[in-house]
Amino acid sequence: MKPEAATVTLRESEVEIDAIRAQGAGGQNVNKVSNAVHLRFSIRASSLPDTLKERLLKMKDHRISADGVVVIKAQSHRSLEKNREDALARLRAMIAAAAVVPRARRPTKATRGSKERRLSGKIRRGRVKALRGRIDG
């Protein structure tokens, strides 16, 4: 991982966390207790470095809205604190993934041997297909 990812810290004032009711099975408890978490994080208004903001905004992720707000819903645990920690961990993982700069691809040439193998395969295939024609007798 790049050193930039290790130095990035999230401020609690930039992360908005709301407690909501969870969906799905859970009996009466699911109807009474708000233990799921909606996390909102505005990328543009954050204190992240500009290069990291750009990479986050370019990511193809359904959790990032068109306005540049990350919305994460965590409801896998029964306790509010565990869901809160899960949502923050997922946000940190997303930021860490954006912090990794992909290596630039250096274009390479096809080797002479690979070109020869490709062409001989084409010739062999063409001969097989030529034998499938109508027989004139």
Residue 49: give its domain's CATH number.
3.30.160.20
**CA 117 → CA 57, 112, 123, 127, distances in Å?**
44, 9, 10, 15
Q: Give the length of the chain.
A: 137
**Residue 106 lies inside a defined structural domain of this protein:** no
Q: pLDDT digits over 29-74, tens only?
A: 667 778 889 999 999 888 889 999 999 999 898 999 999 899 999 9
CB contact at 8 A, 59 and 100: no
- Indicate whether 6 pLDDT > 90: no
The pLDDT of residue 83: 93
Q: What is the pLDDT of residue 2?
A: 47
Q: Residue 37 in 3-state DSSP? A: strand
The C-alpha atoms of residue 131 and residue 36 are separated, in whole angstroms, by: 68
CA atoms within 13 A of residue 12's CA, in its CB half-sphere:
2
Task: Indicate whether 75 belongs to any domain.
Answer: yes
Neighbours of 36 (CB within 10 A): 22
Average confidence score pLDDT of the chain = 87
**Helix (H) or strand (E) segment spanning residue 3:** helix 3-7
In this predicted structure, the answer to whether residue 77 has a pLDDT above a threshold of 80 is: yes
pTM here is 0.68
Number of domains in the chain: 1
Q: Which domain holds residue 88?
A: 3-99
